[in-house]
Each structure stands twice: as C-alpha cells, then as structure tokens.
C-alpha cells in the first residue's frame, strides 16, 4: 500500500464520519459529536418540527404553551449534562423566560408570541437587557408568529454589541 492509498483511506474515513454527522437529524446526537450545545441548531430543528406539526393549526396559543413545547423538545438534549431555569430573576429585577445552563455556559432565551412590530421590538430590547444583566454577548429569542405571511426560520440580529439568534415559528 503506497502513501497515496493511505491518505485516500484516511480522507474517505473522515468524509464518512463527517457525512454521518451532517445527516444526523437530532440536536442531541450532533451535540454529542461536537461536545457542546449549539442552541442555534436546536432552534433550527425546533422550527422545522414545530412547522411540520402546527403549521395549519387554528388552536388558540399562549406564550406559556410555547415555552412548554420548547422545553419538552430541549429536555432530552441537555438531559444529564445541563439544566434549564424558568423565569429566573435578573439583577435589574426582570424575569428571563428560560436560561439553559449547559457545561458551565448559560444560554439566555426569551420567548414571545408575535403581536406586531412594536411588540417584537420590545422583545428584542428585553433580551438585550437580560444579556447586559448576565454579561453575555449572545442571546436567543423564540417567536411564535401566527401571521399567514410569516417567514419561518432562524436569523441572526445584531443590536449594538449584542447578537440575538431569533427563531420564528
């Protein structure tokens, strides 16, 4: 076996391993591959699965229901390695919706039912305030929008020196 064959074999194994990770459908397995929590990826998969299940739903929806659905989705992913806290009080006496604590890192997450642009802007200001309170530069916002013309997905918003990853379902 020559050097070229050995290199090709190593590259083939690495490619198969990489493809296996790319094709994994659950954030838990991806997390295990990477040994860190990638909340953006979890939000992307949540958006996909939520849309598949509830896209045409006419049910009345409240923010608390969204939080429960998201936590049910998140719990098996962080189980045994992380924890989450609901409505933790900040030093400015605000209450965060969810803080995920995973391997010593905190992920600040705000959830909103989208009721127009002004309400959405207040949600962004709220998450920025929480990031300031917790000395973080990145936070997450999960918006439940029932407008028929909504654009579902995950996007990155930069506000000052803070980054907010927003998922819209």
**pTM higher than 0.75:** no
Q: Which of 16-20, 28-32, 102-106 has the highest average model confidence (pLDDT)? A: 102-106
Domain span including residue 18? 1-35
Residue 164: pLDDT band with limits 50, 70, 90 = very high
Give the whole-number percent of the chain exceeding pLDDT 90.
Answer: 21
Mean pLDDT of 107-136: 88
Is the same domain home to 103 and 141? yes
Q: What pLDDT score was predicted for residue 127? A: 92
Q: Are residues 124 and 107 in the same domain?
A: yes
Per-residue DSSP letters for the chain? --HHHHHHHHHHHHHHHHHHHHT---HHHHHHHHTS--HHHHHHHHHHHHHHHHTT------HHHHHHHHHHHHHHHHTTTEEEEESPBPTTS-B-SEEEEETTEEEEEEEEE--SHHHHHHHHHHHHHHHHHTT-SEEEEEEE---TT---EEEEEEETTEEEEEEE-
Residues 62 and 134 grouped into a single domain: yes
- Which pLDDT score, from 0 to 100, does residue 28 have? 54
Query: Are residues 28 and 105 both part of a single domain?
Result: no
What's the domain count of the chain? 2
What's the pLDDT tens digit per position in 30-86? Answer: 555 445 578 888 888 888 888 777 766 666 666 677 888 888 888 888 887 888 888
| % of the chain surpassing 70 pLDDT | 73
């Amino acid at each position: 076996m020559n050097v070229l064959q050995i290199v090709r074999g190593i590259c083939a194994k690495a490619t198969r391993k990489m493809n296996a990770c790319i094709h994994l459908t659950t954030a838990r397995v991806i997390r295990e591959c990477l040994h860190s929590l990638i909340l953006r990826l979890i939000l992307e998969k949540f958006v996909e699965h939520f849309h598949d299940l509830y896209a045409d739903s006419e049910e009345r929806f409240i923010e608390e229901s969204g939080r429960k659905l998201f936590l049910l989705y998140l719990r098996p992913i962080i189980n045994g390695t992380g924890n989450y806290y609901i409505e933790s009080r900040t030093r400015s006496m605000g209450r965060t919706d969810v803080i995920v604590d995973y391997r010593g890192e905190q992920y600040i997450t705000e959830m909103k039912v989208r009721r127009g642009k002004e309400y959405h802007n207040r949600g962004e200001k709220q998450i920025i305030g929480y990031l300031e309170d917790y000395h973080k530069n990145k936070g997450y916002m999960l918006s439940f929008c029932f407008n028929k013309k909504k654009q579902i997905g995950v996007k990155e918003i930069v506000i000052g020196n803070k980054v907010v990853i927003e998922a819209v379902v």
